[in-house]
Amino acid sequence: MKILVTGGAGFIGSALIRYIINQRQDEVINLDKLTYAANLDSLETVSLNPRYSFERADICDRAALDRIFADHQPDAVMHLAAESHVDRSIDGAGIFIQTNIVGTYTLLEAARHYWNRLDTERKKTFRFHHISTDEVYGDLADKNALFTEETPYSPSSPYSASKASADHLVRAWHRTYGLPTIVSNCSNNYGPFQFPEKLIPLMILNALEGKPLPVYGNGLQIRDWLFVEDHVRALYKILTEGRVGETYNIGGNNEKSNIEVVKTLCTLLEELVPNKPAGVMKYEDLICYVTDRPGHDLRYAIDSSKINRELDWRAEESFESGMRKTLQWYLTNKSWWRRILNGSYHLERLGLNN
């Protein structure tokens, strides 16, 4: 299969491409605008593979999309390109509306026009898989409740509202035009190659430098955590075995409060990095509580029984082993994140090496 992956230079997209190139036989076309969140270093191990190619493009640019569909003739689209950081969406929602809503609409239209011209057989097997988040469901007030595929949408942040809009557009393109779409909604991912603005890498890098570990509010907000390599296996299964027009929730069965996550990391750091930065007695002493994020949802928890049952997928990595692997990865790949922290990963692509 030829799979057009949007956002393949991001955290989950790059994990997906490494998985497909290393463990599957398909071809991948990575379509990415290369925003601040993208990092082609994450694809170093696959970039020379003849089954991999890269197209720098914006999903809002219809002419570029039409050209890429025509040139590559993909059998499927896996759509991950998005603005993905909730805090940034609160500071400035415009780019989230543009990329996540207008971009998804533009991609759907390009895909639909391409799909309409395919022969009957390829038309039937073509897939448009939209990758989304459990944040579209909003806050879970009842502490025993779980998000199912039928839970009504109630997004709280500009980010989750923009993803919810995109999900609705994808479903409408299936219902109205017959485009063979599938949507998946996943909980918080963590693992190697995650951009250091997200909770877990931010805490790791701050701790290694002896900087404060800022936790929002009282730290009791609960999220479900999924190791990124489990997520990309699920995505591939959904693409290849999932039913058209359906939604699949994906979760790790790992509900943790933010403070538990940070304390788990501190314990692992004590074990793996006993030589602490100057002035630090215990990593936990670096924890500090900061003003809560506006509109912060208290709890997300996901019911993955549909994907378990229908596609025989389940998360394999426990939270403890996934966190250990993640920390070990950041400890042995310092050059990857140092190039992000000093900005050189981004300047090079702008042609500004110094």
CB 337 within 8 Å of CB 330: yes
Alpha helices (H) in 242-304, listed in sequence order: 258-272
The dihedral sign for the CA sequence 105, 109, 110, 114: positive
Phi, psi of 138, deg, nearest 5: 80, -155
Is 155 a binding residue for ligand NAD by CB under 6 A? The answer is: no
Residues 4, 13, 101, 183: which binds ligand NAD (CB under 6 A)?
13
Distance in angstroms (rounded) separating the CA atoms of residues 222 and 225:
10
Q: What residues from 61 to 90 belong to the interface with ligand NAD (CB under 6 A)?
A: 80-84
Q: Which residue among 58, 83, 135, 229 is the active-site one?
A: 135
Distance in angstroms (rounded) separating the CA atoms of residues 137 and 185:
9
Judged by beta carbon, residue 52 or residue 195, the one nearer ligand NAD is: 195
Q: Which residue is nearest to ligand NAD (CB)?
A: 10
135 is catalytic: yes
Closest separation in Å from C-beta 42 to ligand NAD: 9
* Residue 83 vs residues 32, 40, 163, 317: alpha-carbon distances, Å: 12, 17, 9, 27
Can you read off the two tokens belonging to residue 243? 């039913």
Q: What residues from 158 to 187 belong to the interface with ligand NAD (CB under 6 A)?
A: 163, 186
Closest separation in Å from C-beta 279 to ligand NAD: 33
* Residue 309 vs residues 145, 187, 312, 314, 353: alpha-carbon distances, Å: 19, 18, 6, 9, 51
Is 238 a binding residue for ligand NAD by CB under 6 A? The answer is: no
- List, edge to edge, every strand of the sheet that includes 255-257: 188-190, 222-227, 255-257
Judged by beta carbon, residue 131 or residue 265, the one nearer ligand NAD is: 131
Residues 3, 7, 192, 207: which binds ligand NAD (CB under 6 A)?
7
Residues 4, 21, 131, 302: which binds ligand NAD (CB under 6 A)?
131
Is 29 a binding residue for ligand NAD by CB under 6 A? The answer is: no
Query: Which positions lie near ligand NAD, rule CB under 6 A?
Result: 6-7, 9-13, 32-35, 37-38, 58-60, 80-84, 99, 103, 131-133, 163, 186, 188-189, 195
Active site residues: 134-135, 159
